Amino acid sequence: MGSVGAMEPFDPPGEPWVRVSPRLATVRRIGLLAFGVPAAALATAGMAFVALWAAVVVAVLGVGLLGWSWAVVGRTVRSWGYAERAEDLLVTSGVLRRQLVVVPYGRMQFVDVSAGPLDRRFGLATVQLHTAAAATDAAIPGLGPDEAARLRDRLAARGEASAAGI
Amino acid sequence: MQEGFRRLHPLTPVLRGWKFFAAAVALAVQQSFSDLGLGYVLLVIAASIPVGIAYGYVSWRTTHFRIGPEDLRLETGVLFKRSRRVRLDRLQAVDVVRPLVARALGLAELRLEVAGGSSSEAPLAYLSERAAHQLRAELLARAAGIEHDEESAPEAPERVLLTVPLSRLIEAQVRSSLFIGAVVVIAVIAVGSLLSGEFAPLGLAIPFALVVVPGLFQGIAGQFDFTVAESPDGLRLRRGLLETRAQTVPPGRVQAVRLVEPWLWRSRGWCRIEADVAGYVGEGQAQASVLLPVGPRADALRVLALVMPDADLSTINLAGVPPGARWLDPFQWRCLGAGMDDRIFVARRGRLRRETDIFPHEKLQSVRLSQGVLQRRLGLATLHLDTTPGPVLVSAAHRDEQEARHMLDAAVELARRARATVRPDRWMRPPAPPAAPTEAP
């Protein structure tokens, strides 16, 4: 395939990735505490009625899973990145399973900006792009509300300028 | 009724009411096994007839449609009114479907397929056969961008490209894994009962046959007398024994194509063609996506040349994957291949059932590169080319990661160039000058 340079497969195209806000890690950790810890505690308590050793196994597994999730949150958040090019948007993500998505502006059907209660408290929003293909998976979490709105409007404007049928 | 609106065929309530009646009978029969008496059941069936007819009549009275220069307007609904406008330049396919009962009455259903939605979004059921064909010609002429003064548009001429003989359809079913599996199971049951001298196990074969036989019959009846024809309005397909279906897929509406070669067909050199067409989604639409149920490779290439005139499979060199892929796909890694030229992307997979995806660059919606933990260890990555929903999912698994990234960049660039020279939605109009931005609706 043409000239094969020494390029990492998930490298940005030219300019560096625009990274998302580190506050996203805080939001995700709070979510982990709010849902993961009670879930693990409930599972352990439930197992205690069955057998003590089963409760211990579940507790150890739960703590291990929570600790690992906690540790990996920072890396996951740092792995998100996007780049706006003249004709398309690139989004990269993932630590264990890495992904790179390229969406041409002309293929965009609509753009969503969404924010949950916790996201709003921390001033974060998610921008998601939709095309005529259901498989297109291009969401950018952890954007500031202004940046999210700006990105949405710019994507919509660029999409309109280069719109094509399907 | 407003000016210019038309109604469906007056027999529509009878056909609709018939379904209502059948549902009532089914419900009553089911209930009759419980404690209710026969008289009650008959009463329910008798009562359903006037209710069904009344509902069907009101529904028919409130449904009307009008074809404008740019759109189809469809007004429906008894209690909840709905007015729908379908843009004709976005038409993906027009199908004339004739279920068995409708055929007996000389009626047909016209389906306009557009992208999006979960089923056929503008079904005109039912029209007389003549009206259905007339309307199809008119819709296609307007969608193509041909101006005409009279009320009636002439039917576009067509040239039959090929037909699938019944003997081949039957042989294809005999060579299916379903049939072979069924024969093996029945043989085992028969031999078992002969050896043991007991005939009770033969009873097992009956429910089994009740499952397999309709499947095999549907495979033949659904594709009976399959005909591929070519016309200025695009691809024409006709099929069906009991319920017949005549499809028209205008030029440039096929998003992606897959050639499927099951291993039991290999000795005959046969293959099947499936396609993604944006309108063919939802229940009962899977059959519509089959562009050729079974045929020799030469036939398949002729159909392919019709839907993708620029595609030339013979000049594309399919590159294999690195040996590291054997850890992830030990049985089939040698069969994985992918390649592209400036018009199409091609991916191949499968040892027993060989699949070849053909994807024109201009139809690209998005591209994804993904890499799992094991793939990362082995320096591999999977490339996905996203298309509109349908049976064809285009991907090239376990490529060398560097090569996959180069393929991704190349696919994006080629798609950008291909989109600039794409044919217009209105296929009979000369293409707009390249300087103009988008065609105003």
Residue A29 clears pLDDT 90, i.e. is over it: yes
Optimal mutation site among B359, B365, B398, B426, interface A, most CBs of chain A within 10 A = B365
Query: What single string gives the DSSP state of each residue in A60-125?
Result: HHHHHHHHHHHHHHHHHHHH-EEEE-SSEEEEEE-SSSEEEEEEEGGGEEEEEEE--HHHHHTT-E
What are the two backbone dihedrals, phi and then psi, of residue A150, each rounded to the nearest 5 degrees?
A: -65, -45
pLDDT band at B2 (very low <50, low <70, confident <90, very high): confident
pLDDT at res. B432: 57
Averaged pLDDT of chain B: 87
Which pair of structure tokens corresponds to residue B283? 């229940």
User: How far is A20 from A142, CA to CA, in rounded Å?
Assistant: 5
Its ipTM equals 0.88
How close does chain B come to A99, measured CA to CA in Å? Answer: 4
Q: Write the pLDDT tens digit of every residue in B91-136.
A: 899 999 999 989 999 999 999 988 876 666 778 989 999 999 999 9
- If you average pLDDT over residues B166-194, what whole number do you get? 90
B278 contacts A166? CB cut-off 8 A: yes
CA A163 from chain center: how many Å?
26
Q: Write the pLDDT tens digit of every residue in B229-281.
A: 999 888 999 999 999 999 999 988 999 999 999 999 999 999 999 999 988 88
Of A9, A99, A132, the CB nearest to B402: A9
How close does chain B come to A93, measured CA to CA in Å? Answer: 10
Q: Write the pLDDT tens digit of every residue in B234-245.
A: 899 999 999 999
Residue B153 clears pLDDT 80, i.e. is over it: no
Optimal mutation site among B249, B368, B394, interface A, most CBs of chain A within 10 A = B368
B155 Cβ contact list (under 8 Å, min separation 6) = B133, B137
What are the two backbone dihedrals, phi and then psi, of residue A138, each rounded to the nearest 5 degrees?
A: -125, 90
Which pair of structure tokens corresponds to residue A9? 């497969």
User: How far is A18 from A78, CA to CA, in rounded Å?
Assistant: 10
User: How far is B227 from B160, CA to CA, in rounded Å?
Assistant: 7
pLDDT at res. B322: 95
Averaged pLDDT of chain A: 88
CB distance B349 to B334 below 8 Å: no
pLDDT at res. B150: 57
pLDDT band at A2 (very low <50, low <70, confident <90, very high): very low
Of A7, A102, A161, the CB nearest to B366: A102
- If you average pLDDT over residues A3-12, what whole number do you get? 69
Q: How many CB pairs under 8 A join A and B?
A: 107
Percent of chain A with pLDDT over 90: 52
Residue A123 clears pLDDT 50, i.e. is over it: yes
User: How far is B150 from B143, CA to CA, in rounded Å?
Assistant: 16
CB distance B65 to B75 below 8 Å: yes
CB distance B94 to B246 below 8 Å: no
Residue B344 clears pLDDT 50, i.e. is over it: yes
CA distances from B159 to A105, B117, B234, B240 (A): 39, 32, 11, 20
Interface of A with B (CB under 8 A): 1-2, 4, 7, 9-11, 13, 87-88, 96-104, 106-107, 131-138, 161, 163-166
What residues in B contact A137, CB-CB < 8 Å? 368
Name the closest residue on chain A to residue B424, using Cα atoms. A165
What are the two backbone dihedrals, phi and then psi, of residue B277, each rounded to the nearest 5 degrees?
A: -120, 130
Q: Write the pLDDT tens digit of every residue in A69-89.
A: 999 999 999 999 999 998 899
B376 contacts A98? CB cut-off 8 A: yes
Q: Write the pLDDT tens digit of every residue in B311-322.
A: 888 899 999 999
What residues in B contact A136, CB-CB < 8 Å? 365-366, 368, 386
Percent of chain A with pLDDT over 70: 95
User: Among residues B271, B398, B382, B389, which one has the least CA distance to residue B323?
Assistant: B398
Side-chain-facing half-sphere of B52: CA atoms under 13 Å = 20
What residues in B contact A101, CB-CB < 8 Å? 366-369
Residue B408 clears pLDDT 50, i.e. is over it: yes
User: Among residues B338, B405, B340, which one has the least CA distance to residue B367?
Assistant: B405
Of A1, A132, A161, the CB nearest to B365: A132
Which pair of structure tokens corresponds to residue B104? 């007996």
Side-chain-facing half-sphere of B438: CA atoms under 13 Å = 14
pLDDT at res. A134: 83
Optimal mutation site among B386, B393, B421, interface A, most CBs of chain A within 10 A = B386
User: How far is B193 from B202, CA to CA, in rounded Å?
Assistant: 7
Optimal mutation site among A102, A109, A137, A162, interface B, most CBs of chain B within 10 A = A102
B386 contacts A131? CB cut-off 8 A: yes
B251 Cβ contact list (under 8 Å, min separation 6) = B234, B423, B427
Residue B83 clears pLDDT 60, i.e. is over it: yes
- If you average pLDDT over residues B56-63, what whole number do you get? 88
